[in-house]
Amino acid sequence: MGEKIVLTGIKPTGDLHIGNYIGAIAPAIELSNQADMRPVYFIADYHALTSMQNAEELHNRTYEIAAAWLSFGLNPEKVLFYRQSDIPEIFELNWILSCQTSKGLLNRAHAYKAKVEENLAAGRDPDAGVYMGLFNYPVLMAADILLFQANLVPVGKDQIQHVEIARDIAETFNRTYGETFTLPEALISEDSAVIPGLDGRKMSKSYGNVIPLFVDEKKLRKLIFKIKTDSKPPEEPKDPNDSILVDIYRAFATPEEIADYEQKFREGIGYGDAKQLLFEAVNRKLEEPRRRYHELIHDKERLNQLLENGAERAREVARPFMNDIRRKIGKY
């Protein structure tokens, strides 16, 4: 079967942590290297505007994301890698699609619905604090996806509904104006590793339990030594399936190393030694990207150049298709 266009947007919010790397960055980069994939990965900087109104923060986060993905080996020759805001066609399509999107469909979108429910529970006006950006978020996302004729959209579970909305909008448009858009499908990696944070809960910025991706070696070791363990003495056998250390180790080591590590747990290993081994495995994976990241983040000109080249190539795809869409709606 032919090539598949695989497209995903990366919102430039929050500090990246090893959970982001294991759950999103690593699998997406791996996917992008498959021969039968045409990867389109972009920084959804205008989507971030719904929650980020600090100019400096949006600016910095955008470059941080670009540097991070490149430092983990994203190949800008193979991947169409650009910044959403550099593609004006997306925003034109956004409007056209919004005219094919019923308000009722967007009323049912999770993020908006949750906000309304929260307001109602607090006795406020249902739309208190709701901005049109939040409400229309799924339409902009549909424009991102449909403009590039994506077949597959790798996303986390929380974004499945958005991909379904994009599909619905595409179907409506196709019915109105004739076959135009490819219907996208969400791609959820089933075993998408959710790695635990320092306290054993899912690693998440909101829990304050993260191991940031690009901290120096000393800090990384310190954080790993902070991971919560119980008070079993070193020689006591430990269940490898009941340890945060093993859970994290599994995401960073080879199958043989993992088997070996698990065996050590069953035989009894002190937590200090186990943490040292974990640190070494994590650090081995991160040290090269960390070095590259720090190099890149100080070279904004180079990052900018890369993103602009990406946008130029993306627009070569978007322009003719947008012309086609314009003709279909009657602009000719």
Alpha carbons 16 and 184: distance in angstroms, whole number: 27
Binding residues for ligand TRP, per CB under 6 A? 7-9, 11, 44, 47, 141, 144-145, 153, 155, 159, 162
Q: Annotated active-site positions, please?
A: 115, 202, 205
CB of 9 to ligand TRP, least distance (A): 3
Alpha carbons 329 and 267: distance in angstroms, whole number: 69
Exposure on the CB side of residue 315, measured as CA atoms within 13 A: 15
CB of 322 to ligand TRP, least distance (A): 17
Token pair of 164, please? 């379904």
Q: Is 279 helix (H, G, I), strand (E, B) or coil?
A: helix
CB of 199 to ligand TRP, least distance (A): 24
Find, among 151, 212, 179, 191, the residue nearest to 4 by Cα. 151
Find, among 157, 165, 47, the residue nearest to 108 by Cα. 165
Token pair of 218, please? 């000393």
Q: How many CB atoms lie within 10 A of CB 331?
A: 9
Q: How many CB atoms lie within 10 A of CB 231?
A: 6
Alpha carbons 267 and 180: distance in angstroms, whole number: 61
Place of tokens 């790397």: 21
